[in-house]
A and B are shown apart, each in its own frame.
Chain A
Amino acid sequence: MTEETQHIIHWVDEIVQQKGNTKKALIPILQAIQNEFNYLPEEALKHVCETTEITPENITGVASFYSQFRMQPAGQHLVKVCVGTACHVKGAMQVYDAFKRHFKLTGSEETDAEGKYTLEKVACLGCCTLAPVVQVDDVTYGHVTTDKVGSVIQDFESQVGKVGNKSKFRHADGSEFQGEIRIGLGSCCVASGSEDVKKEIERTIEGTGINLQLKNVGCVGMCHQVPLVEVIDENKQSKLYAKVKPNEIADIVNTHFKSKSLLGRVRNKAYNLLEKLQTDEVWEGVDRYAIDVRDEMVSSFLDRQLPIATEHRGVINPLDMDEYRSYGGFEALQKVLQMNRQEIIQTVKDSGLRGRGGAGFLTGLKWELVAKEQGEKKYLICNGDEGDPGAFMDRMLLESYPYRVIEGMLIAAYAVQATDGYFYIRAEYPLAVTRIRQALINCREQNLVGENILGAGFNFDIQIYEGAGAFVCGEETALMASIEGNRGFPTIRPPFPAQKGLWGQPTLINNTETFAQVSYIIRKGKEHFNAIGTENSKGTKVFSLTGKVNRGGLIEVPMGITIRQIVEEIGGGVQNGKKFKAVQVGGPSGGCIPASLYDTPIDYQSLIEVGAMMGSGGLVVLDEDDCMVDIAHYFLSFTQEESCGKCTFCRVGTKRMLDILTKITSGKGNKKDLEELKYLADWTKKGSLCNLGKSAPNPIITTLHYFYEEYEAHIEGRCPAGKCTEMISYSINDECIGCTKCAQKCPVEAIKFEPHKKHSVDMNLCIKCDACRQVCPVDAVDVK
Chain B
Amino acid sequence: MVKLKINNQVLDVPEGTTLLDAARSLQIDIPTMCHLEGTGHFTSCMVCLVKDARNGRLMASCSMPAMEGMEIITDDAECQESRKASLELLLSEHVGDCEAPCQLVCPAHMNIPLMNRLIAAGNDAKAIEVVKRDIALPAILGRICPAPCEAGCRRKQLDQPVSICLLKGFAADQELNKGVVPVLQETKTDRKVAIIGAGPAGLAAAFYLNKAGHQVVLFEKNEKAGGDLLQIKEEVLPTKVMEAELASILNSRIQINYNSTIGTAEFEQLQQAYDAIVLAVGAQADLWKDKGLLLSKNGVQVDKTTYQTSIDKVFAIGNALRPSKLAVRSVGQGKELAWVLNEWFETMELKGYPSRFNSKFGKLSEPEFAEYLKESVDEKRWQASRGKATGFTREEAVAEARRCLHCDCRNPESCKLRELSDRYGAEQRRFQYDERFVIRKEFAPQNIVYEPGKCIKCGICVRLTQQYQETFGFSFIGRGFDVRIGVPFSESVEKALEKTAALVAEKCPTGALAKTDTEEQL
Contacts of B49 in A (CB 8 A): 687
Please pick, from A56, A494, A643, A653, the residue contacting B475 in the complex, using a CB distance under 8 A.
A56
Residues in B whose Cβ lies below 8 Å from that of A42: 489
19 A-B contacts, Cβ less than 8 Å apart?
Answer: A55-B473, A56-B489, A57-B488, A61-B462, A487-B476, A492-B41, A492-B60, A640-B480, A644-B480, A646-B42, A647-B43, A648-B90, A649-B46, A652-B93, A654-B481, A686-B82, A687-B49, A689-B43, A689-B60
B349 at the interface (CB under 8 A from A): no
Interface residues of A in 662-705 (CB under 8 A from B): 662-663, 676, 679-680, 683, 686-689
A residues 26-73 with Cβ under 8 Å of B?
A: 42, 45-46, 55-61, 64-65
Residues of A within 8 A of B92 (CB): 652, 656
Contacts of B45 in A (CB 8 A): 647-648
A686 to B89 alpha-carbon distance, docked (Å): 14
Q: Are A642 and B480 touching (Cβ within 8 A)?
A: yes
Q: Mark the stretch among B229-237, B378-386, B403-411, B464-472 that contacts chain A.
A: B464-472
14 additional A-B residue pairs with CB within 8 Å, beyond A494-B67, A644-B479: A55-B473, A57-B472, A58-B475, A60-B489, A61-B475, A492-B41, A643-B480, A645-B478, A646-B42, A647-B44, A648-B44, A652-B431, A654-B480, A683-B86
Whether A56 touches B434, Cβ cut-off 8 Å, given contacts A42-B489, A648-B44, is: no
B positions within 8 Å CB-CB of A: 41-47, 49, 58-60, 63-65, 67, 81-82, 85-86, 89-90, 92-93, 430-431, 433-434, 456-457, 462, 465-466, 470-483, 486, 488-489, 491
A645 lies within 8 A of B64 (CB): no
A659 CB within 8 Å of chain B: yes
Cα distance, A10 to B90, chains bound together (Å): 45
- Residue among B60, B86, B488, B491 facing the most chain A CB atoms (10 A cut-off): B488
**Quick check: A64 and B89 within 8 Å, CB to CB?**
no
In the bound complex, how far is the Cα of B82 from the Cα of A469, in angstroms?
31
Interchain CB contact under 8 A, B431 and A646? no
B433 near A656: Cβ-Cβ < 8 Å: yes
A470 & B43 in contact (Cβ 8 Å cutoff):
no
Q: B477 to A60, Cβ gap below 8 A?
A: yes
A: which residues have CB within 8 A of B? 42, 45-46, 55-61, 64-65, 470, 487, 491-492, 494-495, 640-649, 651-656, 659-660, 662-663, 676, 679-680, 683, 686-689
A470→B64 CA distance, assembly (Å) = 25
User: Bound complex: CA of A654 vs CA of B93, how far in Å?
Assistant: 13
Contacting pair B90 A470 (CB below 8 A): no
- Hey, which chain A residues are within 8 Å of B63, CB to CB? 491-492
Known: A45-B489, A56-B489, A57-B465. A470 touches B46 (CB 8 A): no
Within 8 Å by CB of A645, from B86, B473, B481, lies B481
Interface pair B477/A640, CB less than 8 Å apart: no
- Do the beta carbons of B89 and A653 come within 8 Å of each other? yes
| Contact between A651 and B433, CB atoms less than 8 A apart | no
Q: Are B86 and A687 in contact (CB under 8 A)?
A: yes
Q: CA separation between A651 and B456, bound complex, in Å?
A: 11
Q: A519 vs B491: C-alpha distance in the bound complex, in angstroms?
A: 54
Q: Complex formed: what's the CA distance from A659 to B86 in Å? A: 17
Q: In the complex where A59-B488, A491-B43 touch, is A655 in contact with B481 (Cβ < 8 A)?
A: yes
B515 to chain A, nearest CB (A): 23
Is the pair A56, B480 in contact by a Cβ cutoff of 8 Å?
Answer: no
Which of chain B's residues have a CB closer than 8 A to the CB of A651?
457, 480-481, 483
In contact, B482 and A649 (Cβ under 8 angstroms)? no
Majority-rule SS of A interface residues:
helix
Instruction: Kindly list chain B residues whose C-beta atoms are within 8 Å of the C-beta of A492.
Output: 41, 43, 59-60, 63-64
| Residue with the highest number of chain B CB atoms closer than 10 Å, among A492, A644, A662 | A492
Interchain nearest-CB distance for B208 vs A (Å): 41
Cα distance A663–B432 in the bound complex, in angstroms: 12
Docked pose: A649 CA to B87 CA in angstroms:
10
* Inter-chain contacts of B477 with A (CB < 8 A): 60-61, 64
**What's the nearest-Cβ distance from chain A to residue B391, in Å?**
48
- The 4 closest A-B CB pairs, nearest first, are A645-B483, A56-B488, A659-B433, A60-B488
| Contact assessment for A56 and B472 in the assembled complex, using a CB-CB cutoff below 8 Å | yes
Chain A residues, Cβ within 8 Å of B483: 644-645, 651
Min CB–CB distance A50 → chain B (angstroms): 11
Assembly CA distance A297 to B368 (angstroms)? 66
What chain B residues lie within 8 Å of A56 (beta carbons)? 471-473, 475, 488-489, 491
Closest to B18 in A: A492
Q: Please indicate the chain A residues that have their CB under 8 angstroms from the CB of B479 in the complex.
A: 64-65, 470, 487, 643-645
Q: Do B489 and A687 touch (CB < 8 A)?
A: no
Cα–Cα, bound, A574→B49 (Å): 45
Contacts of B478 on A, CB cut-off 8 Å? 64-65, 645
Minimum CB–CB distance for B1 against chain A, Å: 17
Given contacts A645-B480, A647-B43, contact A652 B489 (CB under 8 A): no
Closest chain-B Cβ to A641's Cβ sits at a distance in Å of 6
By a CB distance below 8 angstroms, the chain B residues around A659 are: 431, 433-434
A689 touches B46 (CB 8 A): yes
A652 to B431, CA, bound (A): 10
A61 to B466, CA, bound (A): 12
Cα–Cα, bound, A470→B45 (Å): 22
With both chains docked as a complex, state the minimum distance between the C-beta of A36 and any C-beta of chain B, in angstroms: 20
A507 CB to closest chain B CB (Å) equals: 18
Residues of B near A680 (CB, < 8 A) are 85, 431
* A656 and B488 form a contact (CB under 8 A): no
Contact B85 A656 (CB under 8 A): no
CA distance A509 to B248 in the complex (A): 78
Q: Which of A494, A652, A663 is the one whose CB lies under 8 Å from B89?
A: A652
- With a CB–CB cut-off of 8 A, which chain B residues contact A64? 476-479
A656–B90 CA distance with the chains assembled, in angstroms: 11
Interchain CA distance A688-B44 in the complex, whole Å: 9
Complex interface: chain A residues within 8 A of B466 (CB): 55, 57
Partner of A646, one of B43, B85, B475: B43
Using A646-B44, A676-B431, A689-B60 as known contacts, say yes or no to A61 and B476 having CB atoms under 8 A apart: yes
- CB < 8 Å neighbour of A687 from B58, B471, B486: B58
- Least distance between B470 CB and chain A CB atoms (Å): 8
**Nearest residue, chain B, Cβ from A488:** B479
B65's nearest neighbour on chain A, judged by CB, is A494
Given contacts A492-B63, A686-B82, contact A648 B46 (CB under 8 A): yes
Contact between A652 and B465, CB atoms less than 8 A apart: no
User: Which chain B positions have C-beta within 8 A of A660?
Assistant: 433
CA distance A638 to B435 in the complex (A): 20
| Identity of the chain B residue whose Cβ is nearest the Cβ of A639 in the assembled complex | B480
Shortest distance from the beta carbon of B466 to any chain A beta carbon, whole Å:
6
Q: Whole-angstrom distance from the CB of A300 to the nearest CB of chain B?
A: 43
Contact B431 A645 (CB under 8 A): no
Q: Closest Cβ of chain A: how far from B420's Cβ, in Å?
A: 12
Q: A643 and B481: CB pair below 8 A?
A: yes
Contact check, B482 vs A645: say whether CB atoms are below 8 A apart: yes
Q: Please tell me if the beta carbons of B462 and A57 are within 8 angstroms of each other in the complex.
A: yes
A687 touches B82 (CB 8 A): yes
Which of B64, B465, B489 counts the most A-chain CB atoms under 10 A from its CB? B489
Q: Which chain A residue lies CB-closest to B476?
A: A61
A747 to B195, CA, bound (A): 79
Contacts of B42 in A (CB 8 A): 646
Which B-chain residue is minimally distant from A63 (CB atoms)?
Answer: B477
CA–CA, A686 and B60, complex, Å: 11
Q: Which residue of B lies closest to A659 (CB)?
A: B433
CA–CA, A644 and B476, complex, Å: 11
User: How distant is the Cα of A487 from the Cα of B457 in the complex, in angstroms?
Assistant: 14
A58 contact set on B, CB distance < 8 A: 475
Distance in angstroms between the alpha carbons of A492 and B462 in the assembled complex: 19
Complexed CA–CA distance, A45 and B59 (Å): 38
Q: Which residues of A contact B67 (CB under 8 A)?
A: 494
